[in-house]
A and B are shown apart, each in its own frame.
Chain A
Amino acid sequence: MFDLLFQHIVKKASLTPNELEFLKTVFVPKKLRKRQYLLQEGEVSKYMAFVNKGCLRAYTIDETGREHIVLFAIEEWWIGDMYSYLSGEPSTYNIEALEDSELLLLDRNGQEKILQHIPAFEKFQRIILENNYIATHRRINNMMTKTAEEKYLDFSSRYPQIVQRVPQHMIASYLGITPETLSRIRKQIAENK
């Protein structure tokens, strides 16, 4: 159950076997069925979730009732509303399982405990946040400056597994384009091959 998490952590920071064992006493194993929610709008996000298996999405709903997907998460990714988790304010996100999923949840207390016991974990966290910053910045830049086709090509070359596992209309929502535009783009790409 913890193999993927451990692999994920030791790629970024060296933890001893004992330290890794300690993590087992803190992370909460949670199984979600497809379409179940980890978090709903208005709740305070208690956990950051590591995806051991499965696929989830985080989305917001605007005043007209339209969904906007903020991010996806698949194996070895993290998902959660970091803002709500850190500030304790109610979340604006809904986090839903798109497939039956297995998660390992970490709450603030657990995180503090880990940091007290395992100094190297701080390095792991730092690297995660750095990567998160880079990805977020890239996404903002893409959203603002790239054409629909460029956005799709960037996304599908970076995250082909997500393109395979997630319905097309959701990819369109994530990229901020209409499903029709995405259909057209994909058709053009297929024809140009």
Chain B
Amino acid sequence: MATKKTIAIIGATSRIGAAIAKMLAKNNYRLLLMSRQTDQLDIIAEQIKKRDSNLEIEKIYCSTEACWEADVIILAEPNISTKEIVEKIKPVATGKIVISLVKFFNDGIDPVPDMKELLPYSKFIDVFNLADDPGFAAPVIDEEMLDAFIAGNDGIESSIMKN
């Protein structure tokens, strides 16, 4: 029996962070949802727990703490804060899988191009395209959006499973 992996989602209140959290909640992971927007975080955590109260979902307000406990780190913060966050979590991200979704905040243009260099001792995974679906820019993430998201997103799942 494999020990449950702990996945930290940094920026869990962003559209893409919340979407990823909801997707991952369907599988057997312990999720640490990190955001400084406490009200939004409460809402998202409630939404996820409502589906299945057995899920291990926790709200964390400090990115360092979240990454320290995590086995896998998902960066879903919009571009401006990402570089600061990366500097902050660097000491506790050594040897861990780091998945960056930062590209999706910026129409595919990587705002922090040297991210891999900022985290040289982490196993860095860049996600290039989720679903090749311009509809992904839709303002609302609902059930249908999530399905399209998952269909194009096996890459994230399999990287997490493989490692």
Measured in the bound complex, the distance between the Cα atoms of B121 and A107 in whole Å is: 13
Q: Which of B50-79 contact A (CB under 8 A)?
A: 65, 68-69, 71
1/0 per residue, CB under 8 A from A, across B74-95: the answer is 0000000000000000011011
Q: Is B158 an interface residue (CB 8 A)?
A: no
A29 B68 Cβ-Cβ under 8 A: yes
A25 B69 Cβ-Cβ under 8 A: no
Q: Is B27 an interface residue (CB 8 A)?
A: no
CB distance from A94 to the nearest CB of B (A): 9
A1 B95 Cβ-Cβ under 8 A: no
Measured in the bound complex, the distance between the Cα atoms of B96 and A31 in whole Å is: 13
Known pairs A1-B91, A25-B94, A25-B121; A30 contacts B3 (CB<8 A): no
Measured in the bound complex, the distance between the Cα atoms of B1 and A42 in whole Å is: 6
Q: Is A38 an interface residue (CB 8 A)?
A: yes
Measured in the bound complex, the distance between the Cα atoms of B90 and A25 in whole Å is: 10
B1 A30 Cβ-Cβ under 8 A: no
Measured in the bound complex, the distance between the Cα atoms of B92 and A27 in whole Å is: 10
- Judged by DSSP, the binding face of B is loop
Q: Is B2 an interface residue (CB 8 A)?
A: yes
B94 A37 Cβ-Cβ under 8 A: no
Q: Is A32 an interface residue (CB 8 A)?
A: yes
Measured in the bound complex, the distance between the Cα atoms of B94 and A61 in whole Å is: 33
Q: Is A24 an interface residue (CB 8 A)?
A: yes
- Chain A residues near B69: list those with CB within 8 A: 30-33
A28 B95 Cβ-Cβ under 8 A: yes
Contact partner of A43 (CB less than 8 A), chosen from B2, B68, B96, is B2
- Chain B residues near A39: list those with CB within 8 A: 3
Measured in the bound complex, the distance between the Cα atoms of B121 and A105 in whole Å is: 14
Mind listing 19 A-B residue pairs with CB under 8 Å? A24-B91, A25-B120, A26-B95, A26-B121, A27-B95, A29-B91, A29-B94, A30-B68, A33-B69, A38-B3, A39-B3, A40-B1, A42-B1, A42-B2, A43-B1, A43-B3, A102-B68, A105-B95, A107-B95
